Amino acid sequence: MSPYDEKLELCLSDALPSESCHIISTAQARLYHAPFRQCRWASTGLQGLLVFGKELESEGYWFRILYSSAKKVVWAHNIPKGMKYEKDKPFFHVFAGASRQYGFRFEDDDEADEFFDAVTKNLALLKPVTNKKKRSFLGSRRQTPVVISAPSQGSFVHLAHISLDEKGFVDASENVNPEWLRLFGQSGN
């Protein structure tokens, strides 16, 4: 075992105890992020040993970035079922987080390939989340976040608003459908 491998092994065992998790793959990488549907990637400033692993108790998968000199986790992401992990370039892998998309920039293409294979093979074993049909007062007009896009600049127009004032009375603009006003009026009874 080389001095680098010994240092790596010590770092992993200190930061991620083997009695609570299983380490599947590691690689040196930098973390980037970007707003959804935009390719303006920015560095988070975080880099180090990227670890893909699995919790032994919950069976949940995750990513962690460790600073080897500090022997601690500096970034963590729990992987939801159904998450897509994609190879944008041989050295750059991307996935969606809750509030933005993330990218891993690998130092070595071969390491990146091995990491990608480990992640995609393990995530393929997970059953994707299925959306159960829920009744909604919005009926079939309800859209999923994937269908609803952010407004393009200059295209957003505020049509109406409805709210309750400090005393609990309905406050609405002129363009509010009278049916909504009736519904709000009934909900206070």
Domains of the chain plus CATH, in order, are: 3-123 (2.30.29.30), 139-187 (no CATH)
Strand partners, 89: 92
Which residues contact residue 81 at a Cβ distance below 8 angstroms, ignoring those fewer than 6 apart? Answer: 126, 127, 128, 129
Give the type of residue at 160: A
Give per-residue pLDDT as tens, 23-68.
899 999 999 999 988 778 999 999 998 999 998 888 899 999 988 6
CB 106 within 8 A of CB 28: yes
148-171: average pLDDT: 71
| Whether the predicted pLDDT of 1 surpasses 70 | no
CA dihedral 156, 160, 165, 171 (to 10 degrees): 170
Give per-residue pLDDT as tens, 74-133.
899 999 988 999 999 999 999 999 999 999 999 999 999 999 999 999 998 876 655 555
| Whether the predicted pLDDT of 5 surpasses 50 | no
Chain-centre distance for alpha carbon 70: 25
- Mean pLDDT (the chain) is 78
CB 56 within 8 A of CB 20: yes
pLDDT of residue 52: 94
Q: How many angstroms separate the CA atoms of 120 and 122, rounded?
A: 5
- Give the ranges where 2-124 is alpha helix by DSSP (H): 3-15, 109-123
CB 53 within 8 A of CB 16: yes
Q: How many angstroms separate the CA atoms of 55 and 81, rounded?
A: 14
